[in-house]
Structure 1
Amino acid sequence: MGETEKIFRQLLSERILVLDGAMGTMIQALKCDEKDFRGERFANHGRPLKGCNDLLSMTQPDAVEKIHRDYLEAGVDIIETNTFNANAVSLSDYGLEAEAYALNVAAARVARQAVDRVARRTPDKPRFVAGSIGPTNRTASLSPDVNDPAFRAVTFDQLVQAYYDQIRGLVDGGVDFLLPETTFDTLNLKACLFAIAKLFGERRIRLPVLASVTITDRSGRTLSGQTLEAFLTSISHADLIAVGINCAFGPQQMSPFVEELARLSPLPTFAYPNAGLPNEFGGYDMGPEDLGRALGNWAKEGWLNLVGGCCGTTPEHIAAIAEAVRDARPRTPPEPELLTHLSGLERLTIRPESNFIMIGERANVAGSRRFARLIREEKYEEALAIAREQIDGGANLIDVNMDEAMLDSVQAMTTFLNYIAAEPEIARVPVMIDSSNFDVIEAGLKCVQGKAVVNSISLKEGEEEFKRRARLIKRLGAAVVVMAFDEEGQAATIEHRVRICRRAHRILTEEIGFDEGDIIFDTNVLIVATGIEEHNDYAVNFIEAAKQIKALFPRGHISGGVSNVSFSFRGNDAVREAMHAAFLYHAIQAGM
């Protein structure tokens, strides 16, 4: 942990910290014209540039620095860089994609200079620069074309590259923190967090990261459809220092969601609402005194560790907020729940008292002839009906598998998951991305905004490949099924099964950073009654191994393909069903 992070964490425990207010509102008040936006450097640029606020950090740095200083004089602890749209995706509207890195460096330096100047006058009060990272102007989870649900205006990889270049500029310009904010699509945020982890890993550095979501309707969901619970679950893999809510609402409308966030999150929490709702002219009418009073009440309720303002707020609003929370005690985050959480649009929590978790496995080209035919014929909308039927039948997760020699499995997985994203009744449950081809798994993970499950990885190809895949799964925010295979092959004995699971658990938890609750061990339900003597104990071995593994790793999970056990009796459904019932009874008792 760096010195800046230590100071920041200490301050969070002592008082409620104050963020700045709206940059865009203050820039609009400058009434800059096209010439002001262009400056000398972009005087001959081929497109109109008025409205590209991020550009002013280059062309009008003194004006931007004055905005920062005004907020600092109002009493803030943290100012945000003028970089909300300074990414290649958003800048493409102005033909400025190539300037993304330079814009972020310039903006970070302007903010750093403002903070350093004020700090020289008041060295006893630490102040920080947060690198503002907006959500871009495109969504990775939804199609902009209602007639083509699988189409995406931007891909996960494109977002990662754009965010990576922005983050690189912010870090090189000297920010203290990174703040991805105004998240309307969790998949966009996951791409940003992936880019942050990539840069940190390459440079062997770490800066504190805060993340903020935007709730866009009064039902408490993001624009891409997730509940607040599901959102928090989807980003739980990231090493965040705090999580918050901003924009879309004024304090009255945002209040229930700030309360919910304070109840749910084990991290420090923050909020920065708009100055009310916009009026008919697009302005904001809530004055400093009213906003300060409302946010002071949030502080009295114990909901806040940081607070600030979003659209329509000014230094006067922030001064009122700072005064309102000055003597309030910061929120004490609750202890984290040691439970397994997965998510689609909604959260699935697996508790010790939960019923047996059912995984629908018919959206599988190897397990359903009808599904395979529809996928081969590219009738994806009809194939959705199979997934929907399983959810209606009680499935808690949907397993999707596209492993067939005649398919482009990466394309098929991507297309079908994009179709699922457009169907809330299906997308509400978590997805299990199932493939023996890791490229297909990776492609699938880049399509889902929720916390998915990967099925599966194993030690069959050795530790290094296992670690590579596990690191990528962790960065993409998924739980993982570990098959009981190693370099010696498939485990059949109790001892071999337990040995593999011990080894995998050590690597995943101690080296990769997985939470034990995100590991699912599949210890191989193997066929019995084949006429081969060594197969006779396979079912008993599974049950005993499950019992030992559950004792070793009580927050881990055990799974298995139950139908395998009776495969010798295919065609005799009565016998198979009886075997499944007996096997399940004992396996569940053992911890499955």
Structure 2
Amino acid sequence: MTSALRSALGSRLLILDGAMGTMLQAADLSLDDFDGLEGCNEILNVTRPDVISEIHDRYLAAGADLIETNTFGANLSALGEYNIAERAVELAGAATRLARRAADAASTPDRPRFVVGSVGPGTKLPTLGHIAFAAIRDVYQQTIEAMIDEGADAVQIETCQDLLQAKAAVIGAHRAAAARGVDLPVMVDITVETTGTMLLGSETGAALTVLEPLGIDAIGMNCATGPAEMAEHLRTLSGAARVPVTCMPNAGLPVITGEGARYPLGPEDLTEALTDYAQRFGLSVVGGCCGTTPEHIAMVSAALAGRPVAPRHPVHVDAVASLYSEVPLSQDTAYLAIGERTNANGSKAFREAMLAENWDECIDIAKTQTRDGAHLLDLCVDYVGRDGTADMATLAARMSTAVTLPVVLDSTEPQVLRTGLEHLAGRCIINSVNFEDGDGPESRYQRVMPLVREHGAGVVALTIDEEGQARTREWKVRVASRLIDDLVGRWGMEVGDILVDCLTFPIATGQQETRRDGVETIEAIRELKSRYPGVRTTLGVSNISFGLNPAARIVLNSVFLHEAVEAGLDSAIVHAAKILPIDRIPEEQRDVALDLVWDRRGTDAPAPRGVEGYDPLTRFLELFEGVTAASMKAEREAELAAMPLLERLKQRIIDGNAKGLIEDLDEALTIKGALDIVNEDLLAGMQVVGELFGSGRMQLPFVLQSAEVMKTAVAHLEPHMEKTDAGGKGTLVLATVKGDVHDIGKNLVDIIVSNNGYSVVNLGIKQPVQAIIRAAEEHHADAIGMSGLLVKSTMVMRDNLLELNREGLARNYPVMLGGAALTRSYVEHDLNDLFEGEVRYARDAFEGLRLMDSVMAVKHGVPGSSLPEIRARRVPARPRAGSVGGAEAATSGGSGKSGGADPAQPDVRSDVARPTPAG
């Protein structure tokens, strides 16, 4: 039966049954029927099997292809509430026998019926420490083995509210299938609350990132809400899941009445919604949850049973996740920064806090790295004399809920890694796997890889083999190739989940044999990326500068990282706050550091340094003799102080330096107006930031530092901006789109537009399209503005425009779009072609203002008024630096990337003078 179910799951739309609990509540059951255990539905499998069988029969008669066993609460915590946890296996087996008997009776050669074991979440949340991961995993395994023994065709892990619980159930299911030697499809349904996340705050994308690599066969949603509230989340799953997508909504949001909860959606309403979703989101299984009955399923089955599954074209992104959100392993605008300060061997502050068991301080160090721009956190608790398993259990449990970033688990001990995996709800990376002690049965590699596979983790693969740490390019590439081939071929990993660490070593020791270590590492990265385009690379960057003073280390680390990224480095384990943009390093320091990295000595170095006897190491040490990080900062402050006032303001934006900013702004206000300062001086600084960003000379964390300084400056100037038309000229709804957290530029648009007499409804970050639509309708908006910094945000904006089309609202709301990855051509040609209304590109806050003026002029019928003419698409001529232009960063640099279906291709821009705002 299992092979038949797999075949059906991928080809035709299957109908799952409706609510078991709703039917039991409608039955005339006494406390005796429950054996005195009121509310324990699972006990009815042995006390009133006739009732359970009748419900199965009714759903099968209604047209269900799949019926679920009455085992939602047959788990450790739920049965533990009744003090009968030991009966979980018995009750699961009894329930599956009843369902199997009913399904077999209803099956025909043309239409087999399938039994799906229902696996509920229980009543305790492991992420919050209510219950141990291993305990619930093992009971899940036992109950699923019982289901298999009694004829279950698949299991459905449903109503998942805690990703750690869902992981335990999936792993338990796989272990059960392996123990019984069967192929068991595993389907998972998450539950998203009306807040837009799972109960513990997990976004839908995070759930997919965590669960799909575990080897599940379908993912979907059930419970909590009706179908209307599921649309956004189903869109996310449909667009990214490589496995079938399912949907089992409640019969609407429950309405509380004097007689209890009542579900408002009848069979017609549910069928209409599921018919729409089946086509729109390519659903493979539909059914009902709370409040649905055989009548609901009969109508859904009549409309949908047997239909071909609508095609989907999912776009997979290699990613890891925290409990809360996913982080792509390929960053749009920077290398993937792995914070190194939560490593007991690399951070004195973290080690001392851990040794003192000052756990709050450990978490504060982790949070600081988040603020400094890290994307992931490297967690290592290995320290001589400590119980690493206990330390990992404590810190991983705390970090799971207290830190929003995914974790790289770093340990030489498999048991410590296991402990981390069993306490972290997200998807982790294991640092590291290597062939140091070979790959035999007792090797660390063979002990770690089963953990990696079972938990669906990514890996950092070190170029170490039985001969030691690879030093030359050829050696590094040889070991990396061996690792990649084995990880993919034997362990079933995807290339994109492998981060190869080509290793680097100190190059400032003065020893001849270490001089080329930086070169060998960079060239190994370059060759590896050429051989395996999908593989990722990483480095512990600070090793390169070991032995130098702190000021010299900052410069050498920053220069080496820049060169490695140019060669194809994808990620780096760094202290992000101690990395400088390449353009912020004094010229001679930068050039000598480059000579040191590339081992350019004597006449091999460029002029004027390339002379006989020139040694970059000697010169580098001279440059930093007596120099400290503090003195470098003081020197930079002195340079700033010597600049003319308005030039200094511009430079503060470029440097992301807010020290002295307020005083400079107050002085500037004595010579020019607030809006002129923003328009002419501050935005000029952001334009330079955009050019540096687009050319790769400034990474995203520094762009955001600059944007924060810009935000502070504009907030200080805002009270000095003359507001026009206080009565309100029109209303703009602004939002950063779903999946994007960057809002500095959007907030600048808010300030500039609202100070020119418009009402602005600023919804904030990560806004789904339905929230944007609701706000536009509620506030009678005249236009909608959508913003985002990331490349993926361009696709979200596209989908949002299509949703406005579908809702018949496209002509009601002119839309302006802005963000770093957008271009005028992409917005005004590709997106305009598919949007039934008017959409325009807002390059910066002032163009947003001009667009609002045009929108309102057209709306009020001002003679000769119209929206700005769409420029003709231009033929790509030369690559241009990208930028943080558009409404998101409110710069005047533009993105410089293509129009065309791919917003990342180069495009020639024809810019015009910035309009002067009123007021």
TM-score normalized by the length of structure 2: 0.59
CA contact (8 A) 1:366 1:404 kept: yes
- Of the structure 1 ranges 352-361 and 15-24, higher mean CA displacement relative to structure 2 is found in 352-361
The residue correspondences of 1:293-312 to structure 2 (distance < 5 A) are 293-312=272-291
What residue in structure 2 maps to residue 241 of structure 1? 217
What residue in structure 2 maps to residue 131 of structure 1? 117
Aligned Cα root-mean-square deviation (Å): 1.9
What residue in structure 2 maps to residue 21 of structure 1? 18
What one-letter code is carried by the residue in structure 2 that aligns with 1:87?
N
Secondary structure of 2:34's counterpart equals helix
Structure 2: distance between partners of 1:124 and 1:328: 15
Deviation of residue 422 (structure 1)?
A: 3.0
Structure 1: distance between partners of 2:157 and 2:513: 56
What one-letter code is carried by the residue in structure 2 that aligns with 1:109?
R
The residue correspondences of 1:20-419 to structure 2 (distance < 5 A) are 20-38=17-35, 48-119=36-107, 122-142=108-128, 152-218=129-195, 220-280=196-256, 281-326=260-305, 329-337=308-316, 339-344=317-322, 345-351=324-330, 353-419=332-398
Deviation of residue 329 (structure 1)?
A: 4.6
The reply on whether 1:434 has 2:429 as its aligned counterpart is no
CA contact (8 A) 1:259 1:303 kept: no
Deviation of residue 336 (structure 1)?
A: 4.6
What residue in structure 1 maps to residue 459 of structure 2? 480
Q: After superposition, give the CA deviation of every residue in 1:274-331 in whole Å (9 maximum; x if it has no partner).
A: 1112222123232222222222222343442211000111101111211232485522
CA contact (8 A) 1:274 1:309 kept: yes
Deviation of residue 164 (structure 1)?
A: 0.8
What one-letter code is carried by the residue in structure 1 that aligns with 2:436?
K
Secondary structure of 1:210's counterpart equals strand
Structure 1: distance between partners of 2:17 and 2:157: 15
Q: After superposition, give the CA deviation of every residue in 1:317-366 in whole Å (9 maximum; x if it has no partner).
A: 111211232485522232452x4211111111133754111111112222
How many residue pairs get aligned? The number is: 562
Higher relative contact order (CA 8 A, sep 6+): 1
Structure 1: distance between partners of 2:413 and 2:265: 55
Deviation of residue 406 (structure 1)?
A: 3.9
CA contact (8 A) 1:233 1:343 kept: yes
Q: After superposition, give the CA deviation of every residue in 1:394-426 in whole Å (9 maximum; x if it has no partner).
A: 111111121222432222222122222332xx2
Q: After superposition, give the CA deviation of every residue in 1:132-179 in whole Å (9 maximum; x if it has no partner).
A: 10111111112xxxxxxxxx1211111111111111111111100111
State which structure, 1 or 2, has the greater radius of gyration over its C-alpha atoms: 2
CA contact (8 A) 2:500 2:535 kept: yes
What residue in structure 1 maps to residue 686 of structure 2? none
CA contact (8 A) 2:239 2:315 kept: no
Q: After superposition, give the CA deviation of every residue in 1:38-83 in whole Å (9 maximum; x if it has no partner).
A: 3xxxxxxxxx412111111122112211110100000011000111
Task: Give the direction of change, closer, same or farther, for the CA distance of 1:160–1:10 in structure 2 (3 Å limit).
Answer: closer
Q: After superposition, give the CA deviation of every residue in 1:188-247 in whole Å (9 maximum; x if it has no partner).
A: 1111111122223334321111111000133x2111211101110011212222111000
% same residue: 36
Task: Give unmatched runs, 5+ long, in structure 1.
Answer: 39-47, 143-151
CA contact (8 A) 2:15 2:305 kept: no
Structure 2: distance between partners of 1:469 and 1:353: 31
The reply on whether 1:4 has 2:2 as its aligned counterpart is yes
Secondary structure of 1:182's counterpart equals strand
What residue in structure 1 maps to residue 702 of structure 2? none
CA contact (8 A) 1:381 1:419 kept: no
What one-letter code is carried by the residue in structure 1 that aligns with 2:40?
C
Structure 2: distance between partners of 1:531 and 1:293: 75
Structure 1: distance between partners of 2:537 and 2:74: 45
What residue in structure 1 maps to residue 531 of structure 2? 552
Structure 1: distance between partners of 2:295 and 2:112: 21
Structure 1: distance between partners of 2:463 and 2:552: 27
Secondary structure of 2:345's counterpart equals coil
Structure 2: distance between partners of 1:288 and 1:340: 39
Structure 2: distance between partners of 1:18 and 1:431: 39
- Of the structure 1 ranges 459-468 and 92-101, higher mean CA displacement relative to structure 2 is found in 459-468
Structure 1: distance between partners of 2:353 and 2:558: 32
The residue correspondences of 1:522-561 to structure 2 (distance < 5 A) are 522-561=501-540
Structure 1: distance between partners of 2:178 and 2:522: 40
Structure 2: distance between partners of 1:353 and 1:370: 32
Structure 1: distance between partners of 2:2 and 2:132: 34
What residue in structure 2 maps to residue 490 of structure 1? 469
The residue correspondences of 1:433-472 to structure 2 (distance < 5 A) are 433-463=409-439, 464=441, 465=443, 466-472=445-451
What residue in structure 1 maps to residue 747 of structure 2? none
The residue correspondences of 1:482-521 to structure 2 (distance < 5 A) are 482-521=461-500
- Of the structure 1 ranges 362-371 and 69-78, higher mean CA displacement relative to structure 2 is found in 362-371
Structure 2: distance between partners of 1:277 and 1:185: 21
